A and B are shown apart, each in its own frame.
Chain A
Amino acid sequence: MKTEGKIGIFLCECGGKISNRIDLSQVSELLRYEPWEHLDAYPHPCLAPGLEAMRQEVKNKGLDRILVGGCSSRVMKKRFSSGLAEVGIEKHQVEMINLKDHVAAVHEASPQELARKAAALIAGGMASLKLLEPYEPVSLTFEGPALILGGGFSGFIAARELARQGMESLVFSKAETPERVLDELHWTFPGCRIFCGDLADLLREVFTHPRIKVMPDQPIDYIVGGVGDYHVGLKQPDGSVTEVAGAAIITALDREYGPGNIDYIGGGERVCDLLELEEKLGAGDISPGKMVFWVNSPQHGQAAQELAALAAWRDSLVLAREHPQVQPTVVYPANITLPLSGSDLREARAQGIGLLSYAPEVHPVVQSGFLSFVSPGDNLEHEVEWDTLVVPGAPAEPVEKAQELLRWLPIYPENGGGRLQKSNIKFWPDQIPDESLFFTGSAGGVCDLNEVIQQGKKAARGVLHLREKALQGRLVSPVVVHVDKDLCEGCGLCTEICPCGGIEHVKPGSGPVARETDNHLCSGGGTCAATCPHEAIKVLNNSTQQLEARLKAILGRMQEDEILGFVCGWGGLASAEQAAVKGLTYPRGIYLTPVNCLGSLDPFILSMAFLNGVKGIMLAGCTPKHSCHYHYGVDHCWYRVNAMKKLLSLAGLERRRIAIGYVEVNEPESFVRMVESQMDTLDKLPPLPQDDKTKARLWAIHATLHRPRVRWVLGTSLRRPAEKEFPGSQFNAVEADETMLDVLKEEFLAARIIKALSEQPLNPPGIARAMDEPVKNISPLLPDMAHEGRIALKGWEGGYPIYALGKA
């Protein structure tokens, strides 16, 4: 990447859609003193002639930063980055300012006024582009076996696929022989006895293959490292830990089934669940007569019912073939789709297996020897005779093994329930290099053995794809997040809050060591960077410093009654642009800045904006929990906004100068209402006072939000509307909030003392006078601050200590 920083600005007329509303020559005029190499307006830069003209300018003037003032970067950026790739422009070197949807289409104002707003936004984009850094993708090695953890059946399939393609793997399994695996299979996949022949062949291949090592399941002590180089510590019975290394991890976890609830049915030996039946089948101990499989338990959900019906059908087939003295019948609810094909149904008729559906509205009633149910066909109650009644087992909660893995891998229980999900962060597909987090098995959702086998194969294909790329030297990880080793104190907060596994874990007990990042898993959400107490993390080429520069440039061109708006790249940005598509309008006094996620907004960005004189701020993000693309990003932001409100009121300013709102992708009307409401609120407030006293206080707010202690408290706090637990020793919401307020009060006061001392050395009454605060409020803090070395005791005068900045 060339780094001279020659910026070319290409303004789009969009066939009049922009040029009729914004005076583009006025925009050029307003940007006259900015350091660009090229600035011009084009009818349609996005079409082939426009791209050709841009390429010519890049070649002729040696441009290495491109700023397009046109429409949505979500939709159009790919066009420009691919069109300019042949002249050496990379994706991150292209910046788009959405003049059409953020300025031209949504405001009713004269072209000259809109030109001023457009110029401000473009100046902001230029300031951000100037801080681009050269960017070297890191080549990764991919050596060693695949580690297959969790003991799920899909692990064996994955191992076989890998072995066939010449890759080694280590499988950790509870069962140590193929026979044991099959004996225990019905605990996870009931009704699969019918496949035992094929599965036995498969397992024999796995257990005897030279490239596969099946190891007994051992408790996991730690998983560290990243894609291409994982290290897993295994606890041994004697307390020691052995480490195995591998290139990739496949997590194969299956959901186990527990005994079905048959207590309420009674019937002793004649009533059993599917698991018991399978054990009896294994032992060959089947009593003759009519056997009825009754798919009950709607509480487990339709998917589980379908699987139970399928299991019942398969067991019926086994019974019909091996135990002709048994007449099986499957009774299933009519609201599920029986996953059987036409040939299955023909076979059922041929073997005399009954398939009966019941209306799910009326729960069937068990009698001694009969089961009565309502048929959905004629609404009449029918009876089916039974000698043995079989009900499905109950799906159990994730096993202990799963809990062990969740600690180290980005896999989460969905909504705190039984279903496990890998990090479900949703981002543009081109933002992640390759699938590199492999999670398979029925713990991710009730599914059949066939599907689990497909998942295992798919995971193996994914691993092989990574290996293939590594062999060709193409396995590079784009450096997304960079941790500054000198600043990092190894507190581990980033690892705790990272939802995507992008920040690597460290071994337990290894103390405060600087974190590494796994850029293959990183989503670039940026919550870690905004949270880091020591500001050691940087999202490369999307850094807080760039955002700060952008905002300063915009703020310098804003008027005193105008406000800043932050929109997250998903709900907020999409709805803001949708407002333009739908032809809605809103006041032009709001300057929108898109960020990836509101969670990536560093708290000091907010204070910086106020310090630079903005009247108010509005933030629009996705609805928490429901649709935030970065798990808890918007909840982290909520706490920062909350802290900002507290600090504003401590400084004697109005809390309502800053407000956060939530909006969905297709709710432009809500976005417009949010903007109008916040603008109304701020219209009633005076502009931010520009006197020295307010400025000193805003400076103190800004300094407070740079303090590691405050940032730590903010980072560990996360709005948890649904949870009942709070971090640390706090027990309820009010207490947690008051702790935060106490920390903010103290640090705010300390920052004000430093501000007062920055002018001249002072004694306590002098400091109090400068701060306009009673002496008794500040005097307890001064010795502590001197002790910490934040201020220095310079001497005594008239019985009072004299404090100053710097060393004692």
Chain B
Amino acid sequence: MIDFTINSQAVQGQEGWTILEVARWNGIDIPTLCHHGALEPYGACRLCVVEVDEGRRSRVVISCMYPIKKGIKVQTSTPRVDNVRRWIVQLLLDESPASPHIQELAKTFGVTPSRFKKEGVDFACHLCGLCVRACQEVVGIQALTFGNRGLRKEITAPYHQRSMDCICCGSCLYVCPTGAMEKLFPQVSAP
């Protein structure tokens, strides 16, 4: 057993568990977007950041992938952490102002749409990759992939064609945190 503290509360876990898992097990809430119980952690959204003090200095790390170590001191809500999260939520909100999940996050962090808010898009895809991962890890096929890179990165079916591998199970729709998949689904699912 590995002993450490989260918000000064003594907790323990096993080798290989992450901070997020131990925190949630102990009823400590850490907001996430790209994390899903059915899937391996991915670290795309960075919303789950926490401050970890390993003795020498403290760092802001993502809790969904950070393995627990003996004696670390984890703080889930410090000014540094909150600042990072607020910025992330701000950017998410500006991208998809109408998504209920994002709105909920915005309310928690007291964030309102900024002057950079995108016009004409209600449910934007944030490339969290949940749909792609669900298709691969849960369903076991690759009907969905990332296309392009950088600014042009997008969720698409291989070769930009409706995928024949798709079994139309709707897992991608189920895990999508913003509702963007609903628009994409007719373009990627099996004809």
Q: Which residues of A contact B (CB under 8 A)?
A: 15-16, 43-44, 46-50, 52, 72, 74-76, 78-79, 426-430, 570, 574-575, 577-578, 581-583, 627, 629, 665-666
Q: When the two chains form their complex, are residues A578 and B171 in contact, meaning their CB atoms are under 8 A apart?
A: no
Q: When the two chains form their complex, are residues B21 and A429 in contact, meaning their CB atoms are under 8 A apart?
A: no
B94 CB → nearest A CB, Å: 21
Q: When the two chains form their complex, are residues B38 and A49 in contact, meaning their CB atoms are under 8 A apart?
A: no
Confirm or deny: B182 has a beta carbon within 8 angstroms of a beta carbon on chain A. yes
Q: When the two chains form their complex, are residues A75 and B174 in contact, meaning their CB atoms are under 8 A apart?
A: yes
Supplied contacts A49-B22, A74-B138, A74-B169, 5 more A-B pairs, CB within 8 Å = A15-B29, A43-B26, A629-B167, A665-B168, A665-B185
Q: When the two chains form their complex, are residues B14 and A48 in contact, meaning their CB atoms are under 8 A apart?
A: yes
Q: Using Cβ atoms and an 8 Å threshold, which residues of chain A touch B171?
A: 74-75
Q: Using Cβ atoms and an 8 Å threshold, which residues of chain B touch A74?
A: 138, 169-171, 174
Given contacts A47-B25, A583-B100, contact A428 B173 (CB under 8 A): no
Given contacts A44-B37, A79-B37, contact A49 B13 (CB under 8 A): yes
Q: When the two chains form their complex, are residues B168 and A629 in contact, meaning their CB atoms are under 8 A apart?
A: yes
Given contacts A48-B16, A75-B38, A426-B167, contact A15 B173 (CB under 8 A): no
Cβ proximity bits B133-158 to A, threshold 8 Å, 1 near / 0 not? 01001111100000000000000000
Within 8 A of A (CB), among B108-153: 134, 137-141
Chain B contact residue count (CB 8 A cutoff): 38
Q: When the two chains form their complex, are residues B173 and A48 in contact, meaning their CB atoms are under 8 A apart?
A: no
A627 to B189, CA, bound (A): 12
Within 8 A of A (CB), among B1-50: 13-14, 16-18, 20-22, 24-27, 29, 36-38
Given contacts A78-B138, A79-B38, contact A44 B25 (CB under 8 A): yes
A43 to B29, CA, bound (A): 11
A453 to B24, CA, bound (A): 54
B34 CB → nearest A CB, Å: 15
B27 CB → nearest A CB, Å: 6
Q: When the two chains form their complex, are residues A43 and B140 in contact, meaning their CB atoms are under 8 A apart?
A: no
Q: Using Cβ atoms and an 8 Å threshold, which residues of chain B touch A78?
A: 38, 137-138
- Give which listed residue, B24, B134, B190, contacts A43 with CB less than 8 A: B24
Q: When the two chains form their complex, are residues B141 and A75 in contact, meaning their CB atoms are under 8 A apart?
A: no
A262 CB → nearest B CB, Å: 34
B40 CB → nearest A CB, Å: 10
Q: Using Cβ atoms and an 8 Å threshold, which residues of chain B touch A43?
A: 24-27
A150 to B13, CA, bound (A): 61
Q: Using Cβ atoms and an 8 Å threshold, which residues of chain B touch A575?
A: 170
- Give which listed residue, A46, A50, A570, A574, contacts B173 with CB less than 8 A: A574
Can you list 7 A-B pairs with a CB-CB distance of less than 8 A? A15-B24, A47-B21, A50-B25, A574-B174, A578-B170, A578-B174, A665-B185
A547 CB → nearest B CB, Å: 21
Confirm or deny: B179 has a beta carbon within 8 angstroms of a beta carbon on chain A. yes
B182 CB → nearest A CB, Å: 6
Given contacts A48-B17, A570-B169, A665-B168, contact A75 B22 (CB under 8 A): no
Confirm or deny: B92 has a beta carbon within 8 angstroms of a beta carbon on chain A. no
A46 to B175, CA, bound (A): 15
A171 to B51, CA, bound (A): 68
Q: When the two chains form their complex, are residues A52 and B14 in contact, meaning their CB atoms are under 8 A apart?
A: yes
A77 CB → nearest B CB, Å: 9
A740 to B22, CA, bound (A): 61
A583 to B173, CA, bound (A): 13
Q: Using Cβ atoms and an 8 Å threshold, which residues of chain A touch B16?
A: 48
Chain A residue nearest in CB terms to B32: A15
A667 to B93, CA, bound (A): 25
Chain A residue nearest in CB terms to B16: A48
Q: When the two chains form their complex, are residues A428 and B174 in contact, meaning their CB atoms are under 8 A apart?
A: no
A427 to B141, CA, bound (A): 11
A573 CB → nearest B CB, Å: 8
Chain B residue nearest in CB terms to A425: B167
A583 to B167, CA, bound (A): 25
B59 CB → nearest A CB, Å: 23
Q: Using Cβ atoms and an 8 Å threshold, which residues of chain A touch B168?
A: 426, 570, 627, 629, 665
Q: When the two chains form their complex, are residues B173 and A75 in contact, meaning their CB atoms are under 8 A apart?
A: no
Q: Using Cβ atoms and an 8 Å threshold, which residues of chain A touch B24?
A: 15, 43-44, 47
Q: When the two chains form their complex, are residues A574 and B169 in contact, meaning their CB atoms are under 8 A apart?
A: yes
The 5 closest A-B pairs by CB, nearest first: A46-B37, A574-B170, A665-B170, A49-B25, A426-B167
Q: Which of A15, A72, A666 counts the most B-chain CB atoms under 10 A from its CB?
A: A666
Q: Using Cβ atoms and an 8 Å threshold, which residues of chain A touch B134?
A: 75
Cβ proximity bits B45-77 to A, threshold 8 Å, 1 near / 0 not? 000000000000000000000000000000000
